Chains A and B, each alone.
Chain A
Amino acid sequence: MSTVLFAVFPYIAVITAVAGSLGRYLGNRYSYSSLSTQLLENRTLYWGSVPWHYGITLILLAHLLAWLAPGAALALLGGGLRLFVIEAVGLALALYAFIGLLMLIARRLRRNSRVRQTSSPMDWVLLVVLLVQVASGIVIALFHRWGSIWYLSTAVPWLWSLVRLQPEVSTVAALPAIIQLHIVLGFLLIFLFPVTRLVHIAVPPIPYLWRPYQVVIWRTDPGRRGPIATGALMAGTPPPARADAHRPNGGPAMASPGAAPPAPARAEEGEPVTRRDFLTRLSLAAGGLAALIVAIPSIAFLLGLRRSPQVWSTVGRIDEFQVGETRQVAFADPTPLPWAGVTAQTAAWLRRDTSDTFTAFSINCTHLGCPVRWIGTANLFMCPCHGGVFYHDGRVASGPPPQPLATYPVRTRNGNVEILTSPLPISGH
């Protein structure tokens, strides 16, 4: 179950969000908006929207930054007082956002309000998920304290394992249920992103962050009261009225009587979604999703690379090697696949430089990886493939190799020589 929730669903959510957003942006660009209802009701909107957006934006940023820079976050939270202050500020912001959200919901619930009339079922789904999400966040902040610290060692490693396409769910699978709910709802919101008015967060090129606030007007067209264009999956349940932001628009919309709206929106944006369009998009979405469900685990499995652990491997006793002598040694992959057979071995050229120092050269020529041979009498390594030659200390003597022979870390312990098993050296890196 935790595999489905934490290793599969996040990918589905993100890919749906990206693909869906792109599809909606390319296919129905003028629906890319917060669908502001400012004109329908303004007073409660102000008291709801402002707290909500300030609170949730800062909280969301904290989640994101701690994920992107866990080291910096840990350093910041290191002091007890700093941790306390940050947790307190976070809780305050969450409560602030929660109150704002309650106002926004109340505003839509009000009987006979125009906002209620224009609310689509998807709006309600979104509001309920957001409410539960913020509430669960507050509960976590109150009853599972110091989340800003344990977030770094539970959710952050897991999120990065998702990025690396090697999902590692153990750190989140052990968390209390309420926290797991919070995580799943977070990805559910990402999943819902392209089919709700959440898309206004990503209105390219995101000018709302610095432009002056503006007034939104609704352009009513008495001649046509068709369904509005709000994206493929919302199309089946059209709100009764036609609502257009006058341009792609996002963020908390606040009243500014001075700002006059520009030209009316284009005609095409209001065209009804026909049955044909709906079925086309439904088929594309269902087919694409089915293909992704098959492709994602397959490709991710293929991309997952086996990392052999690095361990110190004994290759012989110190007194087996003469000073100044170079000899071939071999060490095995510490965790070989049972069917790897001889290929689990790696050879190296071990040179005893002085009585207590060794150098372990990779046998791979730095040109293209062929095995170099040590010619003891000539004091040279020679490569049979393209004629690369190296001196006894690994420097290039002649031929095409671009850099000296790679070396493995080597040490002496208890009379033994040990080599650190390492990845195949790739020259140029």
Chain B
Amino acid sequence: MTGVSQTVGPILTHVVPHARRSRWLFVFGSATLVAFLLQVVTGIALSSAYVTSSGQAYDSLHFITANTLGRIVRGLHYFGASAMIVLIGAHTIRVYLMGSYKYPRQMNWLTGTGLLLFTLLMAFTGQLLRWDQTGFWTAVVAAEQAGKAPIIGNWLARFVLAGSVPGGATLSRFFAAHVFFIPALMFVFIGVHLYLVLYNGISEPPAAGRPVDPRTYRAWYHRLLEREGLPFWPYAAWRDVVVGFGVVIVIATLAIALGPPELGRPPDPTLVAASPRPDWYFLWYFALLALMPKWSERWVILLGPLIFGLFLIFLPFVSPRGERHPLRRPWAIAIVICALAVIAHYSRMGHLAPWSPRMDAPPLPAEVVGTTSGPIAEGAQVFYDKGCEFCHLVSGYGGIRGPDLSNVGDRLTRDQMLTRILSGAENMPSYAGNMTAAEQEVLLAFLESRHQFQEGTPARPAAMR
């Protein structure tokens, strides 16, 4: 045992700087590690029952979920993934804002960049392994996105699908990536990352007006440790343990209370009534793909991740020295705020998906139409049949892609409406040739009857999501 204690002892009790007021900010890395270990354990448990077969994975997931403990383990793995995304995000932001990536910790940052990338890949492939309808179409969407690459795009798309069509070989490929390839890389990177934390020492909390000078930093850091350092165990480690415990408790509570995400319909490509949605951590990207200008899409898909990756990789090379304190680095604060704002805003948009036609919207009820016979009622039927209602809201019913038409009769003349219906727009099909004169007539009658104050109209129900 002396060999073990002689090895582990100095590691545990290595001296770390006193983190003072920001001491609770140094816990995110270890909390991410806790989430990772939870993912490893629950992942191994799941893989012992999961069947890596495009035809049977879905059934095996039902088998796992039907078992009480299997359900909990699936829940742990799902919320563990979410926790890991949140925590590695918090850790990245903390390190970036505190300038901890500067000399001598550039390699810490680069290995961390790799781990961030791998975590995102794990989240993506993991969501796909939940091989329901969404999982299947996620594989197709991944292939189509890879297909946007110049020259090798087509080959890359085939590589993602493991063949010319999605099928038996597709799932195995993602399983191997999720279970062996990426985790193996993560173990290596985590090992190097932790070694570097010990080798370079954890960064001390930054102070405004105390820039990093590579010529003197190490000597200064060692004097700092000698002056006011504390043994990691237990004076700093206890906070890591407390937060890690909290992370596990929260994940377990959510897993037991909410359970794993429901399995959708089976991964049958002939069930075309599918509405694939990514899990929450990629909703913002999903929204971005819908909302950005059409011409920019190809470039965003290709260059967006590339620029993000290059920014992370080149950061420690571009600014290895100088001020670390965020108050002296306003651009860092601005970048973090912008990134968080974009992700928050687009996540919300992705959740609403206003661009998505509501193909499940019910026909307008009679109390909204105001009548059950005559041209207005026939027009309401045309409004539904022609798919207008999938995109336009009327008195709380319908989609929200196009303008709300609840009181369009107050805003537009008959001619203006007819022009728009026949000509269409960037995000509206043209109905010229797709509607008889009689249909146009009753539709216009219906639309003209839409006024803000209508006799006998009940209070609107809440807007349908």
Contacts and interface: CB of A to CB of B under 8 A. Distances in A.
Interface residues of A, number: 53
A397 B54 contact: no
Given A305-B158, A306-B163, A343 B144 contact: no
Interface stretch (A207-215, A217-225, A249-257, A364-372): A364-372
Given A368-B144, A370-B137, A399-B355, A338 B429 contact: no
Interface in B146-191: 147-148, 153-154, 157-159, 161-171
Contacts, number: 193
Interface in A333-349: 333, 336-347
B140 A364 contact: yes
Interface on chain A toward B: helix, strand, loop, or mixed SS?
A: loop
Contact of B153 (A333, A341, A429): A429
Interface string A295-326: 00000000101111000000000000000000
B137 A375 contact: no
Contacts of B137: 369-371
B422 to A, nearest CB: 13
Given A382-B359, A400-B290, A375 B387 contact: yes
Contacts of B157: 424, 426, 429
Given A369-B137, A424-B166, A426-B157, A385 B275 contact: yes
Interface residues on B, range: 35 or more
A402 B154 CA distance: 16
Contact of B274 (A346, A377, A384, A391): A384
B282 to A, nearest CB: 13
A399 B427 contact: yes
B267 A343 contact: yes
Contact of A424 (B143, B290, B297, B385): B143
B330 interface: no
A346 B159 contact: no
A307 B167 CA distance: 11
A339 B56 contact: yes
Nearest to A306: B163
A328 B359 contact: no
Contacts of A400: 289-290, 294, 297
A336 B167 contact: yes
Contacts of A282: none
B269 interface: yes
Given A308-B164, A342-B266, A397 B357 contact: no
B322 interface: no
Contacts of A183: none
A98 to B, nearest CB: 43
B276 interface: yes
Contacts of B290: 385-387, 400
Given A307-B163, A333-B167, A340-B55, A397 B424 contact: yes
Interface of A: 303, 305-308, 328, 330, 333, 336-347, 363-364, 367-373, 375, 377-380, 382, 384-387, 389, 391, 397-400, 402, 421, 423-424, 426-429
Interface of B: 53-56, 136-137, 140-141, 143-145, 147-148, 153-154, 157-159, 161-171, 266-270, 272-276, 286, 289-290, 294, 297-298, 355-357, 359, 385-387, 390-391, 401, 424-430, 434
Given A397-B428, A426-B147, A426-B153, 17 more contacts: A308-B167, A340-B168, A341-B54, A342-B268, A342-B270, A343-B167, A345-B270, A347-B272, A368-B141, A371-B269, A380-B434, A385-B141, A385-B276, A387-B290, A398-B427, A400-B294, A429-B147
